[in-house]
Structure 1
Amino acid sequence: MSSQHGFDGSTTYSRGRKALTVADGVNRVLLELRRLGVDEQDTIISTNVPTRLDGLPRSGVREPDDPGAAVYWEERGGARRVMAIDQYLTVADNLAAIAATLEAMRAIERHGGAQILERAFTGFTALPSPGAEKSWQEVLGVPPDERDIEAVRAAFRRQAAQHHPDRGGSLEQMAAVNAAWQQAKVELGVAP
């Protein structure tokens, strides 16, 4: 007799029943996304499990310290979504939980709750990727509504002093600070 811990937190005992694998979880997620009209090529499954050559998580490897899973996808209309779960103790269970959530959301849509579904998915809108370009306000460390050129100039000087290569910064950081200052001057109507 073996025991299994399901993604719902329960423990089940069975004879000869195999445990959920990462591959099972991946397949469930991809199936639910296909049912929502999302192509596999528009999907990224992110875990701390080493990946196969096709980029999907590998089954049969040691469970990572962080078993969380996230799934990113792009809908037909171009909306980008992300759903992340780290509620359970294994990557496979967290992937199965994502699949179960997607299945439940499809049921809402099937039963006429399209507006409810859209509101629910709004919470899963993907954030910009870490490599996405930052605004000049973010780079210089000023509030998004800052319009005072002297306050922006002071922020530029602080960032330049901090990120200058002669003071331990890098050429890339300094280039980003200089580019942000140029963008700020253009946007605020100050001659370059």
Structure 2
Amino acid sequence: MTTAYPLAWPEGWKRTKNPAKSQFKTTLNGAIGNVQDSIRRFSSDSGHKVENVLVSSNVTLMDAKPSDAGVAVYFTWDGISTCIAVDRYQKVEENLQAIHHVLEAERTKLRHGGLNLVRQAFRGYAALPPPGKASQRPWHDVLGVYADASLAACKAAYQAKAKELHPDRGGSEAAMAELNAAMEEAKRARG
């Protein structure tokens, strides 16, 4: 697990204005260990590797209790680049512990709802590349299809997403450009 400073909050995610006190009783090292354990168990339960784990916060060697206690955990699972970010609590260790509980909830979804339910949830958490990474999201993540989807499925997904992401319909130019690039990549991949 890699750490990154300063906090790279996911683009477009709202920040908590007034973080609350939590009921969690944990240390920073304890919360980090809990997140690591949850990631390992989630990977084992799902049968898919969790890779490129990056924990982003404002913690430094000289400041273990920064004024901005938000934490963002970026990772790739089953080819989906995702992020779980929490800033609702006043301490970094509390926000990390909350991320541990979110990951445990995903394990519960996996047990009771299956792999497809979790894939859809993780696509909803879709993340731009974590800080320091220049690569783009995989084309199939942008389109919201499986990596082995047919060209016809890619085109259908593109058309549906274009209706919501086009700037004339309330979307943004950046989102539409990303979608267009993903469709071009899908065409190259599917020949």
Moved over 2 A (4+): 7-12, 38-42, 112-116, 128-134, 143-146
Residue identity in the other structure for 2:54: I
User: SS state of the match for residue 83, structure 1?
Assistant: strand
Question: How many angstroms does 1:82 deviate by?
Answer: 0.9
User: SS state of the match for residue 85, structure 2?
Assistant: strand
User: Compared with structure 1, are the counterparts of its residues 84 and 33 closer, same or farther at alpha carbon in structure 2 (3 Å cutoff)?
Assistant: same
For the 8 Å contact 1:30–1:40, the answer to whether it is kept is no
Gaps of 5+ in 1: 1-6, 13-18, 52-57, 135-142, 147-192
Q: Does 1:85 pair with 2:86? A: yes
One of 22, 36, 47 as aligned partner of 2:42: 36
Equivalents in 2 of 1:28, 1:43: separation in Å? Answer: 14
For the 8 Å contact 2:80–2:122, the answer to whether it is kept is no
Question: How many angstroms does 1:118 deviate by?
Answer: 1.7
For the 8 Å contact 1:33–1:39, the answer to whether it is kept is no
Aligned twin of 1:115: 116
Instruction: Percent identity, please.
Output: 34
Question: How many angstroms does 1:122 deviate by?
Answer: 1.1
Residue identity in the other structure for 1:34: R
Equivalents in 1 of 2:70, 2:110: separation in Å? Answer: 27
User: Compared with structure 1, are the counterparts of its residues 8 and 27 closer, same or farther at alpha carbon in structure 2 (3 Å cutoff)?
Assistant: farther
* Structure with greater Cα Rg: 1
Equivalents in 1 of 2:135, 2:23: separation in Å? Answer: 46
One of 49, 60, 71 as aligned partner of 2:59: 49
User: SS state of the match for residue 55, structure 2?
Assistant: strand
Q: Does 1:69 pair with 2:79? A: no
Question: How many angstroms does 1:41 deviate by?
Answer: 6.2
One of 27, 32, 38 as aligned partner of 2:33: 27
Residue identity in the other structure for 1:121: F
Query: Which protein has greater RCO, CA pairs closer than 8 Å, 6+ apart?
Result: 2
User: Compared with structure 1, are the counterparts of its residues 124 and 11 closer, same or farther at alpha carbon in structure 2 (3 Å cutoff)?
Assistant: closer
User: SS state of the match for residue 120, structure 2?
Assistant: helix
User: Compared with structure 1, are the counterparts of its residues 112 and 39 closer, same or farther at alpha carbon in structure 2 (3 Å cutoff)?
Assistant: closer
Question: How many angstroms does 1:89 deviate by?
Answer: 0.5
Question: How many angstroms does 1:78 deviate by?
Answer: 2.7
Aligned Cα RMSD in Å? Answer: 3.4
Aligned twin of 1:186: none
Residue identity in the other structure for 1:45: V
